[in-house]
């Protein structure tokens, strides 16, 4: 699926001009011409019927109308599932190299609400000196992933946080899952936790906390457990950080979609 994510300053105008990378995406990547149409989505998640009226060297004029039916666009079908997505917030310990970008891309494709990079004791990567550039890069990757996947969820890239600020940022807004690499005392099964949400028809947000290549320290685990984060262990193979993030999101999301929506 290809979808066009409208810029953040779009406010429902019937004619709207785009520039720069957005022009390149429509005319070079999707190879659309004047008169062609595509489904668009604004920053609030609303869908729009977009028709290219005029193509210039560095800009395009678009005709925009609220979508009456989101079944299809000129490029492909939208995803079949139109129900509510679980509100998942991913607190991801910063990974090195391209791993973090991979996590951002794939988590966005899955429909995560917010991705918050966090620094932990065992993080190898450090983005503190280039934070602005990295966040801008993550936002660009997220936009590309939203356009590719057709996700109705507007994924936000949160401000990077030190590990000690995770609990205060979450502020008890819902179920919080700490995916840990070992078994800890009084640990519940993942499905047991999610079953409670289902049985009580709880639609509150869910936090997923994932470590970097080195996992979490015992101090970090203890500190989040003390803040009512629930430790969870994936019992199969030992997973890389980037695999663990996507597997955890997919498991939680699919269970909630199948049983709560």
Instruction: CATH number of the domain at 174, please.
Output: 3.40.1280.10
**81 within some domain:** no
| Closest to 210 (Cα-Cα) out of 250, 259, 173 | 250
pTM exceeds 0.85 for this model: no
Both tokens assigned to 32 = 């659309």
- Supply the pLDDT for residue 109: 93
Report pLDDT digits (tens) over 211-222.
998 889 999 999
Our measurement of the distance from residue 130's CA atom to the centroid of its chain's CA atoms, rounded to an integer in Å, reads 22
Report pLDDT digits (tens) over 169-193.
999 999 999 988 777 776 778 888 8
Q: Are residues 43 and 143 in the same domain?
A: no
Domain that holds residue 38: 4-66
Q: Are residues 52 and 108 in the same domain?
A: no
**11 within some domain:** yes
The two most distant CA atoms of the chain are separated, in Å, by: 63
**Contacts for 128 with CB less than 8 Å, ≥ 6 apart:** 119, 160
**114 within some domain:** yes
The arithmetic mean of pLDDT across residues 81-86, rounded, is 70
Q: Are residues 126 and 239 in the same domain?
A: yes
DSSP class of 172: T
Q: Are residues 25 and 148 in the same domain?
A: no
Bigger pLDDT: 196 or 83? 196
Instruction: CATH number of the domain at 12, please.
Output: 2.40.240.20
Q: Are residues 136 and 221 in the same domain?
A: yes
β partners of residue 189: none
Does the pLDDT of residue 74 top 50, yes or no?
A: no
Are 228 and 168 in contact by the 8 Å Cβ rule? The answer is no
Q: Are residues 10 and 103 in the same domain?
A: no
Q: Are residues 117 and 177 in the same domain?
A: yes
**80 within some domain:** no
Number of domains in the chain: 2
Are 248 and 210 in contact by the 8 Å Cβ rule? The answer is yes
Bigger pLDDT: 182 or 9? 9
Q: Are residues 215 and 100 in the same domain?
A: yes
The arithmetic mean of pLDDT across residues 37-55, rounded, is 89
Does the pLDDT of residue 111 top 80, yes or no?
A: yes
Burial class (CB in 10 A: 0-12, 13-18, 19+), 58: exposed
User: Which CA distances in Å does 181 have to 52, 167, 201, 216, 250?
Assistant: 50, 20, 29, 8, 18
């Amino acid at each position: 699926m290809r979808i066009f994510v409208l810029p953040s300053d779009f406010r429902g105008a019937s004619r709207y001009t785009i520039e720069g990378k957005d022009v390149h995406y429509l005319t070079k990547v999707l190879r659309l011409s004047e008169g062609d149409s595509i489904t668009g989505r604004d920053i609030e998640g609303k869908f729009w019927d977009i028709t290219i009226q005029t193509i210039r060297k560095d800009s395009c004029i678009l005709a925009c109308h609220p979508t009456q039916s989101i079944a299809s666009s000129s490029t492909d079908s939208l995803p079949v599932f139109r129900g509510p997505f679980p509100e998942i917030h991913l607190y991801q310990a910063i990974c090195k190299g391209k791993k973090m970008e991979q996590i951002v891309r794939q988590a966005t494709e899955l429909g995560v609400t917010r991705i918050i990079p966090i620094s932990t004791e065992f993080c190898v990567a450090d983005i503190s000196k280039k934070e602005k550039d990295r966040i801008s890069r993550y936002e660009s990757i997220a936009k590309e992933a939203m356009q590719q996947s057709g996700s109705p969820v507007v994924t936000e890239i949160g401000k990077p946080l030190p590990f000690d600020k995770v609990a205060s940022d979450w502020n008890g807004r819902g179920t919080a899952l700490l995916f840990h690499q070992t078994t800890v005392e009084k640990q519940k099964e993942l499905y047991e936790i999610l079953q409670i949400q289902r049985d009580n028809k709880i639609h509150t947000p869910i936090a997923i906390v994932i470590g970097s290549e080195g996992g979490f320290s015992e101090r970090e685990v203890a500190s989040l457990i003390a803040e009512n984060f629930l430790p969870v262990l994936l019992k199969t193979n030992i997973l890389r950080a980037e695999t663990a993030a996507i597997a955890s999101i997919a498991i939680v999301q699919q269970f909630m979609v199948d049983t709560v929506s």
